[in-house]
Structures are given as C-alpha cells and as structure tokens.
Structure 1
Amino acid sequence: MEVSLNQHIEITPGVRSGKPRIAGTRITVADVAIMYLRMGQSLEEIAGKYQLSLASVHAAIAFYYDNRQEIDQRIAQAEAFVEAARLNTPSLLKEKLDAMRNYA
C-alpha cells in the first residue's frame, strides 16, 4: 500500500525502508536535509543536481522541519550503524598500504 502525503512527498513501504522521500524518486527527505543543512548545498543546487522540481525540494525541507526529531533520530541511527560496521570491519586497503610501508 502506498501512502501519499501530498504531491511532493510519499512514503511507500519497501522503498528506501519506508522513509519519506520525494515522490517518484528514491531521494529521501533525510538525504535532502543532509545535503542542505550539513553539506551547505542550496535547494536550487540540489534540485538541479538531481533533476527535481524546486517545489519538491522545498516540500522535503518543510517535511523535515515538521518531523525533525524523528528524521534526526533515523539519521543518527544510520550513522551509528555505519560507524560500528567501520570499526568492526578491517580495511583491506589499509592493511595492504601498511604492509607496503613496512617493506620500504
């Protein structure tokens, strides 16, 4: 079942884990919020880079601010998962580089 919140934002179970996203795309509201708030990209840049309407990008930011606590919590959980995986998985490239340095 697909739930459409408006013409710009939709939530579809099974697509991007049911995260709110720009309608017709796989770009989540959290993706837009990170690009805008953390990476400093303008909404116009984001729209142009991903061929989105400016209205849909503005809708994503509006949705983010309306649901900020929940979205920030999901972002933090994803970042914690990635960090744990990084710490628990040795880098094969780093091992090879270290081995090369030891031979020199």
Structure 2
Amino acid sequence: MIAQTWRMGVSPEEISQGLPHLTLAQVFDALSYYSDHQDEINTYIERNRIPDD
C-alpha cells in the first residue's frame, strides 16, 4: 500500500500522516524495500488491482 500510494505522487511525509501507526522512518524503509524489489512488487500490485468495470 505504501509503494502504491507513493507511486500516485503522495509524499512519504503525507503517507506517514495518513498512517499514524507508522513512523516516517518505517515509510522510508518500505520505500527502500520497494526500490530493491520493484518488479516483484509491481507485479503483485497489478495482480491485485480491482478492475474499474
């Protein structure tokens, strides 16, 4: 969810404000993990996307 939200243009600071149970450092950790595993995570995001129709 963090990677997908960030891909939509939401800043890490805004993400942590919207998810107050996570610290800003945890958001950056998630984005760092995403950076190292983009292909795998992007495939997972696409596979779980709900069709618009």
Q: Normalised by the size of structure 2, how large is the TM-score? A: 0.85
**Count of matched residue pairs:** 52
The counterpart of 1:41, out of the listed 4, 7, 10, is: 10
Let me know the Cα RMSD of the aligned residues: 1.3
Q: Where has structure 1 moved over 4 Å in runs of 4 or more?
A: none
Q: Does residue 62 of the first structure (1) align with residue 35 of the second (2)?
A: no
1:72-95 CA-partner distances (Å, limit 9, x unpaired): 00111112xx22xx65xxxxxxxx
Tell me which of the two structures has the higher relative contact order, counting C-alpha pairs closer than 8 angstroms and 6 or more residues apart.
2
Q: Which runs of 5+ in 2 are unaligned?
A: none
Identity of aligned residues (%): 31
Which structure shows the higher helix fraction? Answer: 2
CA shift for structure 1 position 59:
0.2
* Cα distance in 2 between the residues matched to 1:75 and 1:62: 17
Which structure shows the higher strand fraction? Answer: 1
